[in-house]
Structure 1
């Protein structure tokens, strides 16, 4: 293995030497420097792998040397030859491995130095691009016109020769490629219109569109058609290149032309969506229709000028145009863009109630003036690179940022409470699924997060590319984020974190599926008790969740041994602040294991009596007979007495107390009560019911009916039926059930007023006459009315 790694390390050194020469040869090419840096970083990773592959072997050698022990000192007996030879071989192998590791570390340091050198060269190139000054004396000379004429003639000749080549040799291939590109475009455009037409087209039937609708329309009407156009251009170029229709220079020209058209199209779509000259009610910015049309025209013109300049720069580079033509083209483009910016600042887009036109806010107006003047002044001073760079950022970066900002606003509006339900998609989703508002809000929040991620993934790389970064830079950053970002001694790997989350989610759903399968297919068929099934299901669920969490943490790249220190630090808090939580948790495990009661049992715990509905590791849910849910901590159920009416079975005894008046025939009372108890269908024959003469009460003779029921939960209905039967039987037999004597009302003594005795007797006689008349009326009311005499 050592020999193989030595050869691999030598090959890496050779490749590194070759890349060092390439850096010197391409010191003025930013794209080539980025590619070299990516290759160097790959070589550095291979060198580190070469060093780390020996770790297990070094550990093994160290353990063997420890077993052999140190060599004997002078004056001590010599060790066996076989032991000495083995120690020597191990030390030689260890030295060779250390030499390879040292070489790999040296190569890694060299590569790091070369990568830093590349970063320095690229920074220097970027500074030179912005600070380089060109002489403008040739811009206004006659040489510019002649150079432009010559350049146009050469471009026309190149395109004409390509057309001739295609018509003569590649006619069928070009025809097939064109048809396939047109079919792809037709499918995309027609299908997109039918599927997403409501998303990015104005609806004139809506009188008062919401802010969310306007935001969504502005965002998607910019993004979706631009992506559609990009897919069309990509398919066209792909099919032309696949069938060999393109030539080297024509392919470069076609890519540049497609990019220019794409930028102009995107800017036009964005300004039309935001300003909406023809549909004022869909307008995001409250400007008047006339200024809105001018702003759309000026923005599109600026994008067209920039696109033409970009296309001509590719033509100049490909055809080796003179410097005067390059400088002149860039000078004219920057001057035009600066003037357009100043014109946009001069526009008065607002109108007061009195009809007076108002300009932009002061900060926005002066920002447009400053950018326009700075671009023009930079071009006039000869800093063409700076001027054209600023023009590109104003047009393209501004368009991307505005589109992204509208997307963020749309995502925030969708994620707001009730925002998704108010959108057209949310209303359609609610009509199809009949979901509640809370569920729709959760869908809206998920949609908001997805839109934000989409915006970041799409627009951030575009902005980085526009600001001078190369695709290789983005690729390197993405690789670092995926493999791990080191912060101090901690390495954070986004790929690992995502993998851990995915593993945990998969483990969660597998656990739920296994719980359902175990409950429905195994325990249900085995006629396992409901309480046992619930306990097993809960234990399997908690065990599966814990296992999924451990596997997810390990998949995320988190060393579980590092959590030991955290667990030790939390132990003190668990002992004091969380002792109740831990007590309830342990109590819950004891309840699930011992099962003193199960789901469906009728228990009595202190003042709470009801049916057990759910047993978790922290608390137990009990539903009282008033349908009230009581959540009892598990520690209360473990540390206190709990009565279980249905512990082993549902057999139970019910007592019904009955009192009869003194003087009643107690033997007959006993017979009647026993007959009623035996005749009830729910009362068991064995054990048979029993009637006990309990006591001589202060107001009644007390009896007690004791019956046994197969299901104690039916005790209420059985008691009710027996009490009705007792009342009916006692009424037939004339047996009286005495009631407790009512407590006499306290007599309140008032001092009498002095009255006349004659008047008092008269009032008393009058009251007696009124009572007699009322009694006669009641007697009359009970009599049946006589039939009227027909005669």
Structure 2
């Protein structure tokens, strides 16, 4: 099996790694066996003559011991902290030696016990450092060998002398298989065993034929039935049924291989070769499945924006690449078991590389035209790229990489760098397949959302596509690393580094600490939100607190709950923050100066929530802005103006500046309406009219009564104003408008004039404004007579 399919073993490997880690932590450490393994590793590193497989096995042994040693370091002994606390309780020893004998003996006993408990931890730490160094040395040797293998230059495939032996060597395994079948058929014992098992063999053959040829049609009928019976979730059913179309034919071919193997006609070589056929079919079917899902002819499920013609062409090229990849897998397996000569590998490999390069180049050209403008000669540019979706932009980038590999790969293979060409072309093909798989899984998540919620997923307003895409990308990163030549040991090394955590001063913070912190904090956060919901919905509405007070209690509960959750989570994780005290002290001054405005607003927000000079729903005026308070948060307050605009006011402005609250405690407010009447009007009559209008309005209170104020004698009119208390000051504009209408109507009916300003302008010496008459300009017209 080639390394390109190592990615298929990732899940199994991670599972075995987890089992091995649990087993290692539960098994006592045998330092004698560890010394033997470490000595063998050091000998192999010094000699550098061990094979790569032996080094990998040795590295695995050293890594298992390193994981065990790391577990010993993280576990520690709970008695150690108790003894250290007891020693600290005794205080420092006097410098003059005047300490009582009993206390001195107790101090020595505690120190002896601490040293005794620290000895295993120190030994484990020393052994861990040794194991880590051995693993790094082994990895360096293996990487250098891999580099040498990639840079190795073989005979060029263009040499005609290699073509004859290559073709001859290609038919040797098949001739040997035919000879084995002929010999086994001639053997009477094997023939009799074949006849005895003939019913079972025929049954397996029949089942394989049904699965390969009949099952796809039955799956299509099942899909039609499901689409007819369900109104939603058709995308999920299509994906699942397409997966069945992939698995059932592969299972059918596997049954065929088992039946042929049970016949006893194949020898050792034939048995080795025939079992690679299901894998080849699986590769072809997977590629066909991904091509059908990625470049679907259905516009509703198509992920990459391409024209129908280019989608059809892309499916054809992907299917061709799958056959070439299957052939390369077959030839690589034959070379691995020693059935093909090196000349065959070079010549046939070049042919496969050349065909793959041509197809990759053309497929890259198709992917480069991904997007709304897919016709040749269409105008593109930065605006077009900005309008593309992320899959389309990624498809364009992938297409450019495929074109580059399609040119460079065959050239390297032609000049003899077969291994580099192999390491470029086929990982590129598998990367394209992984990219298609991620797009299909992303669409499956969208279809599942539609299936369970009944509404299509709005990708422009939902975070689900971004979150699912990030998770899928994170999961695909190890697979991508394996595709491009990373070893399983590289992934285990990353996992080991993650398990080891990092040291901060004398404190080692491990992933377990992070998980414990996150788990406890999430639990505390959920309980805080539940308590806030209970207070807001059930408890506080039954009290006499106003809305502002309820909001303050709910907000304060949230802040206090989150703070306590952080403290409890840090304590539960066992994270010692003593080492951070010096850093916090050094940063506090800089943070104090840099974030003083934020801290000021935060403290002001706490004051507003506790003191509650303003509340949600109040009509206030601050910094010349009138509006209704909609939300009071810790840093700022959101005010909705009467223009229906949102004004974000820092809380410090509400605490330090003057704020006018028109509706604090109640909605009563005073309205003053100014009016002027012409000179000569009956002022007593005007006063009576204004009193009557104010007292008859439904929004004006009679206690205190309205008051009409005769202000004085103006330049153009006799000035009055009407002062009245409204039961709802928020209606002040409506009341002012109605009062003005009634005053106008009443004055008109009583013949009282509301004057307006008039001015007479007197000009002194108006003749001086006329000036002298200007002279006539000479004319350029030759026909005009002159005087």
CA distance in 2, matches of 1:608, 1:459: 57
The equivalent residue for 2:423 is: 393
For residues 213-263 of structure 1, what are the alpha-carbon distances to aligned partners after superposition, in whole Å with 9 as ceiling and x for unaligned? xxxxxxx99x9979974797589979999xx99999999767633333344
Q: Secondary structure at the match of 2:725?
A: strand
CA distance in 1, matches of 2:248, 2:580: 49
The equivalent residue for 1:370 is: 412
The equivalent residue for 1:260 is: 280
Q: Secondary structure at the match of 1:707?
A: strand
Q: CA deviation at 1:371?
A: 0.9
The equivalent residue for 1:781 is: none
1:104 aligns with 2:134: no
The equivalent residue for 1:723 is: 740
Alignment of 1:644-659 (within 5 A): 644-659=661-676
Q: For residues 95 and 637 of structure 1, do their structure 2 counterparts lie closer, same or farther at Cα, with a shift above 3 Å needed?
A: closer
1:611 aligns with 2:632: no
1:588 aligns with 2:605: yes
The equivalent residue for 2:230 is: none
* Aligned with residue 755 of structure 2, among 706, 714, 739: 739
Q: For residues 529 and 631 of structure 1, do their structure 2 counterparts lie closer, same or farther at Cα, with a shift above 3 Å needed?
A: same
* Aligned with residue 69 of structure 2, among 40, 47, 66: 47
Q: Secondary structure at the match of 2:276?
A: helix
Q: Secondary structure at the match of 1:623?
A: strand
For residues 371-402 of structure 1, what are the alpha-carbon distances to aligned partners after superposition, in whole Å with 9 as ceiling and x for unaligned? 13416xxxxxxxxxxx5x55753553231234
Q: CA deviation at 1:265?
A: 5.2
Alignment of 1:314-329 (within 5 A): 316=337, 326=338, 328-329=340-341
Q: Secondary structure at the match of 1:97?
A: helix
For residues 508-563 of structure 1, what are the alpha-carbon distances to aligned partners after superposition, in whole Å with 9 as ceiling and x for unaligned? 67655654443233333446422223333444444555566777888999765555
1:515–1:541 CA contact under 8 A, matched in 2: yes
Q: Secondary structure at the match of 2:551?
A: helix
TM-score (norm 2): 0.64
The equivalent residue for 2:484 is: 463
The equivalent residue for 2:596 is: 579
Identify which range, 613-622 or 21-30, moves more after superposition: 21-30
The equivalent residue for 2:387 is: none
For residues 649-702 of structure 1, what are the alpha-carbon distances to aligned partners after superposition, in whole Å with 9 as ceiling and x for unaligned? 222232333444555554444444333332222222333333344445555544
CA distance in 2, matches of 1:447, 1:588: 37
CA distance in 2, matches of 1:298, 1:100: 61
Q: For residues 19 and 517 of structure 1, do their structure 2 counterparts lie closer, same or farther at Cα, with a shift above 3 Å needed?
A: same
CA distance in 2, matches of 1:54, 1:600: 58
CA distance in 2, matches of 1:300, 1:641: 76
Q: Secondary structure at the match of 1:439?
A: coil
Alignment of 1:405-420 (within 5 A): none
The equivalent residue for 2:30 is: 12
Q: Secondary structure at the match of 1:598?
A: coil
Q: For residues 737 and 504 of structure 1, do their structure 2 counterparts lie closer, same or farther at Cα, with a shift above 3 Å needed?
A: farther
2:167–2:344 CA contact under 8 A, matched in 1: no
2:208–2:255 CA contact under 8 A, matched in 1: no
CA distance in 2, matches of 1:346, 1:649: 82
CA distance in 2, matches of 1:333, 1:118: 30
The equivalent residue for 1:303 is: 325
Alignment of 1:193-204 (within 5 A): none
The equivalent residue for 2:395 is: none
For residues 760-786 of structure 1, what are the alpha-carbon distances to aligned partners after superposition, in whole Å with 9 as ceiling and x for unaligned? xxxxxxxxxxxxxxxxxxxxxxxxxxx
Identify which range, 651-660 or 68-77, moves more after superposition: 68-77
Q: For residues 70 and 678 of structure 1, do their structure 2 counterparts lie closer, same or farther at Cα, with a shift above 3 Å needed?
A: closer
Q: For residues 234 and 96 of structure 1, do their structure 2 counterparts lie closer, same or farther at Cα, with a shift above 3 Å needed?
A: farther
CA distance in 1, matches of 2:100, 2:684: 114
CA distance in 1, matches of 2:573, 2:275: 42
The equivalent residue for 2:83 is: 61
The equivalent residue for 1:334 is: 346
CA distance in 2, matches of 1:175, 1:190: 23
CA distance in 2, matches of 1:495, 1:369: 50
Q: For residues 48 and 747 of structure 1, do their structure 2 counterparts lie closer, same or farther at Cα, with a shift above 3 Å needed?
A: same
Q: CA deviation at 1:30?
A: 5.1
Q: For residues 280 and 658 of structure 1, do their structure 2 counterparts lie closer, same or farther at Cα, with a shift above 3 Å needed?
A: closer
2:406–2:425 CA contact under 8 A, matched in 1: no
Q: For residues 335 and 746 of structure 1, do their structure 2 counterparts lie closer, same or farther at Cα, with a shift above 3 Å needed?
A: farther
CA distance in 2, matches of 1:33, 1:177: 45
Q: For residues 406 and 596 of structure 1, do their structure 2 counterparts lie closer, same or farther at Cα, with a shift above 3 Å needed?
A: same
For residues 609-643 of structure 1, what are the alpha-carbon distances to aligned partners after superposition, in whole Å with 9 as ceiling and x for unaligned? 33223323333333343444433332222222222
RMSD: 6.4
1:260–1:307 CA contact under 8 A, matched in 2: yes
The equivalent residue for 1:597 is: 614
Q: For residues 183 and 604 of structure 1, do their structure 2 counterparts lie closer, same or farther at Cα, with a shift above 3 Å needed?
A: farther
Q: Secondary structure at the match of 1:374?
A: coil
CA distance in 1, matches of 2:319, 2:26: 62
CA distance in 2, matches of 1:555, 1:45: 24
1:636 aligns with 2:653: yes
Q: For residues 161 and 653 of structure 1, do their structure 2 counterparts lie closer, same or farther at Cα, with a shift above 3 Å needed?
A: farther
The equivalent residue for 2:371 is: none
The equivalent residue for 1:623 is: 640
CA distance in 2, matches of 1:246, 1:106: 59
The equivalent residue for 2:703 is: 686
Alignment of 1:756-767 (within 5 A): none
2:630–2:638 CA contact under 8 A, matched in 1: yes
Q: For residues 236 and 44 of structure 1, do their structure 2 counterparts lie closer, same or farther at Cα, with a shift above 3 Å needed?
A: farther
Structure of higher CA gyration radius: 1
The equivalent residue for 1:772 is: none
Q: CA deviation at 1:593?
A: 1.6
Q: For residues 125 and 507 of structure 1, do their structure 2 counterparts lie closer, same or farther at Cα, with a shift above 3 Å needed?
A: same
Q: CA deviation at 1:720?
A: 3.0
1:507–1:544 CA contact under 8 A, matched in 2: yes
Q: CA deviation at 1:481?
A: 3.6
Structure 2 unaligned blocks of 5 or more: 1-24, 156-161, 228-237, 298-304, 366-375, 377-401, 772-787
Q: For residues 729 and 148 of structure 1, do their structure 2 counterparts lie closer, same or farther at Cα, with a shift above 3 Å needed?
A: closer
For residues 679-737 of structure 1, what are the alpha-carbon distances to aligned partners after superposition, in whole Å with 9 as ceiling and x for unaligned? 22222233333334444555554444332222222233333333333333344444x24
Q: For residues 405 and 623 of structure 1, do their structure 2 counterparts lie closer, same or farther at Cα, with a shift above 3 Å needed?
A: closer
Q: CA deviation at 1:644?
A: 1.7
CA distance in 2, matches of 1:143, 1:602: 93
Structure 1 unaligned blocks of 5 or more: 1-6, 198-219, 317-325, 354-359, 376-386, 415-419, 755-791
Greater relative contact order structure (CA < 8 Å, 6+ sep): 2
1:260–1:310 CA contact under 8 A, matched in 2: no
1:340–1:372 CA contact under 8 A, matched in 2: no
For residues 6-50 of structure 1, what are the alpha-carbon distances to aligned partners after superposition, in whole Å with 9 as ceiling and x for unaligned? x99975225436757997999967557545534433333333444
Q: CA deviation at 1:505?
A: 7.3
